């Protein structure tokens, strides 16, 4: 199962869009040293240095060239270094594609990136701090999501709910953190979530040591051509 964006955020100590000014591969035997300039900081403290573990012994090697722009999720290693790699989910903001070979790739990539940045901006503006202490995940049956098609929302494509989870992974309560600008839909969503949400734990574990909270994010996709509008959980 691919790691969800909200979980990447929760598990990271630094989330930002940034420019890579220079890359030093000589000073440190274990890391590439990146001199960076932050464009937008979503989580963590300002810094001008990030590290990428060199490929030897690393299961997630990558390279961020000079003069490129990125969305980065970084965490501290045992020595306090802010590091990231391919597995942490970085996205290049200025990535280009061969339009002849992949005519739709750039558009699709840009739209996906736009949704990610919109979500992060909403978290920052609303001061929502995702947490996921016990590696829980939520899902809905595909047929149940059919009920969320055909709605109209004028402003704001994101809604967030705090899900309070019992020790046996059952739903205890829901608290609205940010709702869609559609009162009828917002009322329906609470009932929909209560009836249809499934809460699981990675590793097929069925319990947690104590009651906990997780964040559920929903995104509104407007109608396009013959496709009705729809609402889906964040899963990218």
Residues 33 and 86 in one domain: yes
* 40 and 156 within one domain: no
Range of the domain at 199: 136-233
Half-sphere exposure of residue 34, counting CA atoms within 13 Å on the CB side? 28
- CATH for 55: 2.40.50.120
Number of residues written out for the chain: 236
Could you report the per-residue pLDDT of 51-76, keeping only the tens digit for each? Answer: 998 876 556 778 889 999 999 999 99
Evaluate if residue 43 carries a pLDDT over 70.
yes
* Per-residue model confidence (pLDDT) at position 57: 59
> Which residue, of 77, 111, 130, is where some domain finishes?
130
What is the distance between the alpha carbons of residues 88 and 208, in angstroms, rounded to a whole number? 25
Tokens read off for 80:
């306090």
Give the domain-ending residue among 90, 106, 130: 130
**Residues 33/49, Cβ–Cβ less than 8 Å:** yes
Work out the average pLDDT over 182-204: 93
Q: Would you state the pLDDT for residue 206?
A: 94
Same domain, 40 and 80: yes
3 — pLDDT class (breaks 50, 70, 90): very low
How far is the C-alpha of 163 from the C-alpha of 216, rounded, in Å?
A: 7
Give mean pLDDT, residues 209-236: 89
Residue 202 and residue 156 in one domain: yes
Whether residues 154 and 169 share a domain: the answer is yes
DSSP string over the chain = -PPPHHHHHHH-SEEEEEEEEEEE-SS-SSEEEEEEEEEEEEES---SEEEEE-STT-SS-----TTEEEEEEEEE-TTS-EE--GGG--EETT----TTT-TTHHHHHHHHHHHHHHHHHHHHHHT-----TT-EEEE--HHHHGGG-S---SS-SEEEEEEEE-TTS-EEEEEEEE--S-HHHHHHHHHHHHHH-EEEETTT----SS-EEEEEEEEEE--BTTBPPEEEE---
Residue 236 has pLDDT above 50, yes or no: no
Amino acid 81: pLDDT: 92
How high does pLDDT run on average in the chain?
Answer: 92
| 98 shares its domain with 142 | no
* C-alpha to C-alpha distances, 212 to 119, 128, 134, 135, 215, nearest whole angstrom: 23, 16, 8, 11, 11
Count how many domains the chain has: 2
Amino acid 185: pLDDT: 92
The predicted-structure confidence for 82-116, as pLDDT tens digits, reads as follows: 999 988 999 999 999 999 999 999 999 999 999 99
| Boundary (domain end) residue, out of 130, 151, 182 | 130
Q: In what order do the strands lie in the sheet with 158-165?
A: 171-178, 158-165, 212-221, 230-233
Same domain as 72, residue 7: yes
Same domain, 170 and 110: no
- Residue 7 and residue 130: Cα distance in Å, rounded? 7
For the cut 80, the answer to whether the pLDDT of residue 9 exceeds it is: yes
Let me know whether 44 and 86 are in one domain.
yes
Q: What is the CA radius of gyration of the chain?
A: 20
Q: Are residues 68 and 111 in the same domain?
A: yes
Mean pLDDT of 155-162: 90
Number of neighbours of residue 59 by Cβ within 10 angstroms: 9
The pLDDT assigned to 226 comes to: 87
Residues 168, 191 within the same domain: yes
What is the model's pLDDT at position 64? Answer: 87
In this structure, the answer to whether residues 227 and 142 fall within a common structural domain is: yes
């Amino acid at each position: 199962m691919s790691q969800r964006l909200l979980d990447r955020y929760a598990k990271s100590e630094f989330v930002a869009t940034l420019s890579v000014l220079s890359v030093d591969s000589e000073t440190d035997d274990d890391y590439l040293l990146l001199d960076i300039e932050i464009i937008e900081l979503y989580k963590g403290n300002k810094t001008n240095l990030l590290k990428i573990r060199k490929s030897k012994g690393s299961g997630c090697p990558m390279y961020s060239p000079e003069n490129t722009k990125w969305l980065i999720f970084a965490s501290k290693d045992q020595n306090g270094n802010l590091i990231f790699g391919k597995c942490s989910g970085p996205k290049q903001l200025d990535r280009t594609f061969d339009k002849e070979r992949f005519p739709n790739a750039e558009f699709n990539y840009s739209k996906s990136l736009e949704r990610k940045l919109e979500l992060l901006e909403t978290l920052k503006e609303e001061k929502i701090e995702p947490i996921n202490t016990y590696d829980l995940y939520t899902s809905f049956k595909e047929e149940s999501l059919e009920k969320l098609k055909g709605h109209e929302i004028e402003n704001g494509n994101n809604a967030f709910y705090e899900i309070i989870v019992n020790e046996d992974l059952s739903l205890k309560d829901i608290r609205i953190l940010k709702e869609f600008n559609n009162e009828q839909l917002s009322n329906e969503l609470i009932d929909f979530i209560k009836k249809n949400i499934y809460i699981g734990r990675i590793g097929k574990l069925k319990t947690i040591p104590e009651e906990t909270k997780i964040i559920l994010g929903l995104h509104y996709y407007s109608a396009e051509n013959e496709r009705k509008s729809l609402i889906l959980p964040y899963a990218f």
